[in-house]
Structure 1
């Protein structure tokens, strides 16, 4: 009889071991499906209830502040509350388990436990017994906790608690990685939003300056031009010197007015709003008669802050070509490939030693190339400069495009 009982127990242990091994394989498969917290927690909750013969499972994960737990996964019908339920660390049984990192077993009358906290959205009046265990990574870092409930009264054994603890430790590592991934994505989105806000603030300031120049300096120059015309008509023909001086003053006013209008156009390119980046670059190319400029531009709309950055880089680069390169011909291409936007400008000018002087051959050119490089880096891109003395210069700006978001 004793041997028969021992053999029966051995069979039961073997069946339990196989069941636990199958559960571990399923959890590993779920963890390998993707780095998202909620899908992993939901899959874990479903598998745990199946493996332990319990009725419901809740998986709480520590939030990014490390001060509270958020319901990240649950079996139906409580899965609709995922992301909505939050518990301060130490609050309720789940919060107590997470804070003290000790399992809790309650067979019945959980409401009488001083740690119990009723949550209306997770009404569990029909559940009698529960086990709650912490989820920790190997170095001892807390990730969260998981709780299983049963409707029928159940005496959870030490083996049940150990199995849940093993499961908790197993999925803790995957959930920890998922939390890190979520934090990284959040930081990337925060950085992207910050960049957009910085560029938007710059453009708002540029619009303000353009408006001030147009409404102030330009209008006064126009008025001054009218008065000079009137003065020239009032001067007698014998006053040759006065006429010469008035004509020179009028010429200076006209030149200053042209520069003011050019500054307004440079501060705020409205063509981007109307025609997009390709149209804006084409318009920019037509505004430079000093160069024979070939263009090859892909018609595609990008995020506003990226279009602005690329337009400003092209603007600065072409100004450098006109002022310093001594070029007669240049080529500008814009394309989008493999989730990257690329702007390239090549000239046939004097060039410079890009190895010895990576940002240009003189102070003025250096400032321009540094400004372009900073603009590219601001939106997460990079600027590459290839040049040799007598062989012209190629400037390439490559900007990674953010993934499409809802």
Structure 2
């Protein structure tokens, strides 16, 4: 497997292994070079003794990697290694090769200003090697050693500064990536939870909607069909009792026929209000437009629908709730408002869908108790409020006597899914 494609963990492991072996390799190379040198013989016993001590010092700390987690043991290790490297360079300048490991360990195992202090010390030790050994420095080349040390310290400090900056930016990028990953994970969890909540909400809305629709239909039948049928029965009974008076009986029969026609009209209106075809072949704006058009024809009142925003398919329960709200609001206008003009606005927002219905009718006092015994509206308004609340929506009513009425329904913009229309 190539380096460009191998896992990041494997690459880090190989780099760590290489850095752990490097000091021993440099120590072996330096020892071999020092022993092979013929021009300036070295004290072999001393060199080998210090070399062995250095190897043991390295191995002692490598065997306890947890020591590097504490700054104090790391500094003790580096100080001991620096002293041993300096002794080796004094004994044999070729150990400047090994002294280079001081740069690596200073950056890896020291922190903050200790890094720069370690790099400066290593530079001074290696400068002795550059000058051919401590004897040359002490016998007159000390100024060359000083200049070389100064240049080495400046270069090492500059390199460390760049490495520190790169390391800090790397940590910041890593932290940012981790935080981004955690944020994405939290967002995904929130989206999943939100989807589950929406599903539960819609399921409960369907169940509650069935009961709500039954209650509404029961009120509609009681207020219209049942009363109409009772009136028809009353007129037929009266006609039966006056069969010997043709004119009177005919009048009762005429009233019964009139009540029958009215009841038929009410029955058709109720059926139309239940028709699922309103949304079967049309989007929400067209469905509400059809409701408005039919209402205008029936009641001879001017009504206009305006749509704003990005009209897009919503979940069936959302669209049904808004269509039913439009129907109920217009029914209330016809029954109570005495309005000459009605304006409807359907607004698509990024996270909400709003339906506003305003009329110029007689209005009412929203603080006074209504037919259902609560302030803010009768059964129609209460039904609308219950319907939108079951979708985690909100219904606001603004009205005043003689100033018309404004109804605003706001529901979540739950998009249509494959399981809906």
TM-score w.r.t. the length of structure 2 is: 0.48
The higher radius of gyration belongs to 2
Higher helix share: 2
Higher strand share: 1
TM-score w.r.t. the length of structure 1 is: 0.49
